[in-house]
Amino acid sequence: MDPKNEQMLQTLRESARAQRKIPAVQKNAALLKLAEDLGKNSQTVLDANQKDLAALSADTAPAFRDRLTLNPQRLEGMMESLRQVAALPDPVGEMIEQRTLKNGLNLQKIRAPLGVIFMIFESRPNVILEAFSLAFKSGNVILLRGGSESRHTAAAIYKLMHQSLQASGFTQVPFHGLEDYDRSLVEALLKRKDYIDIVVPRGGEKLIDFVQRTALMPIIKNDRGLCHTYIDEDADLAMAVNIVTNAKTQRPGVCNALETVLVHEKVAAKFLPMLNQATESKKLKWHTDLTSFEILGKNPLVTLADNEDWDTEYLDLIMNCRVVKSLDEALTHIEKHGSKHSEAIVTSSEKKARVFQQEVDAAAVYWNASTRFTDGFEFGLGGELGISTQKLHVRGPVGLRELTSPRWIIDGTGQIRQ
């Protein structure tokens, strides 16, 4: 690794030590100023984003273009996320447990920052401020590396962050935004466990797989979102149509969007035409089993699914559909094909809903609601570094508390072990 990047890592490690002792009031003031500065410089960021959008090829998938796009509404969402993080309690030093041993030792289990976080993400530039604010508020420093397709937008945001944080009195700026998009640099950084404590990959399967195979430090994995919604025989069908339509079409290119709808055979003949009519204007494409195909009739947007479809995260206006005989069959399908992200059941039976919530192995399990709510901002966490689908350390939205880990502080009066 060249001397410039070695120095960058050294600076991040030094900043991590300094960041552990920054008081909450100073962090909050810096986040609020950053939100204010983003508002004042919004046109600069939007102009940079237009350069990135203009560089995309004409055949770029609409969902990918959507993920890259910033607009005034999304910038306001980024500002609100900064304000929301500033308003949240600081988890650093939070008491988890306290006890006094028979020998008089006083033990306190408290939350402490993870240290240096390396965040690798793909085309969504709004991730920059979301990830930074959470790492910053939780006492960490963060190394950010986005996709090259957002290089102009990222550069504008990084510059704004540097200026704003320096104006807030941070001489050791607690982040670094990589503008070198050489993949070999990422590979080299993933081996630097001497400087980097945690890596967080946020993107497609190829990125996740690459990081898993390469990284020498622990990973907080944000895997794909192959989400299902099961429509039970006792479901309110009008509600079910609204939920599925929202989960699939409101923003299809994100990980909490629906990919497969499972429908009980007793309501399939009534429900599927209702859902088809509701989504017709969206030009939604269906990949279905034979029963669903026969119910929907001749429709150029409906084709029979193949075996691979049930395991495909489309991130597009394409949806799988299967008719099942029971709740248990729906659970079996999800167990086989789900990605442990977000799953939902629509039913008027609380008993069935609780069975579903208990048996489904996923980070977020819904009763009568859209999977689109699996999001740190929506959960009141101020945003997230991603949605963790793993089971160790954190599961679900990775917010402030999830960017800390417990440690023990022990006070004594001269005790020695016999």
Q: Which CATH number belongs to the domain containing residue 70 in this structure?
A: 3.40.605.10
Confidence (pLDDT) at 67: 87
Both 207 and 275 in one domain: the answer is: no
Residues 151 and 52: beta-carbon distance below 8 Å:
yes
Gap between the Cα atoms of 343 and 329, Å rounded: 15
Q: 321: which 2 tokens?
A: 């559909």
In a domain, 214, yes or no: yes
Please list the ranges in the chain whose pLDDT falls under 50: none
pLDDT in tens, 311-369: 999 989 999 999 999 999 999 999 999 999 999 999 999 999 999 999 999 999 999 99
Confidence (pLDDT) at 387: 85
In a domain, 337, yes or no: yes
Residues 92 and 173: beta-carbon distance below 8 Å:
no
Residue 272 CB coordination number (10 Å)? 25
Confidence (pLDDT) at 123: 78
Confidence (pLDDT) at 172: 83
In a domain, 380, yes or no: no
Both 291 and 392 in one domain: the answer is: no
In a domain, 378, yes or no: no
Both 302 and 369 in one domain: the answer is: yes
Both 250 and 327 in one domain: the answer is: yes
CATH number of 346's domain: 3.40.309.10
- State the total domains in the chain: 2
Strand pairing report for 258-264 and 364-367: unpaired
In a domain, 418, yes or no: no
Gap between the Cα atoms of 171 and 352, Å rounded: 56
Both 44 and 171 in one domain: the answer is: yes
In a domain, 379, yes or no: no
Both 235 and 201 in one domain: the answer is: no
Both 171 and 139 in one domain: the answer is: yes
- Give 3-state DSSP helix, strand, coil % of the chain, rounded to 5: 45, 20, 35
In a domain, 271, yes or no: yes
Q: What's the pTM value of the predicted model, to 2 decimals?
A: 0.82
Both 143 and 280 in one domain: the answer is: no
Both 161 and 79 in one domain: the answer is: yes
Please, what is the Cα angle at 360 between 355 and 361, to 5 degrees?
145
Residues 111 and 405: beta-carbon distance below 8 Å:
yes
Confidence (pLDDT) at 173: 84
Q: Domain residues for 280?
A: 227-373
Both 310 and 366 in one domain: the answer is: yes
Confidence (pLDDT) at 323: 98
Confidence (pLDDT) at 1: 80
**Residue 120 host element (H or E):** strand 116-121
Confidence (pLDDT) at 204: 78
Both 390 and 250 in one domain: the answer is: no
Both 51 and 154 in one domain: the answer is: yes
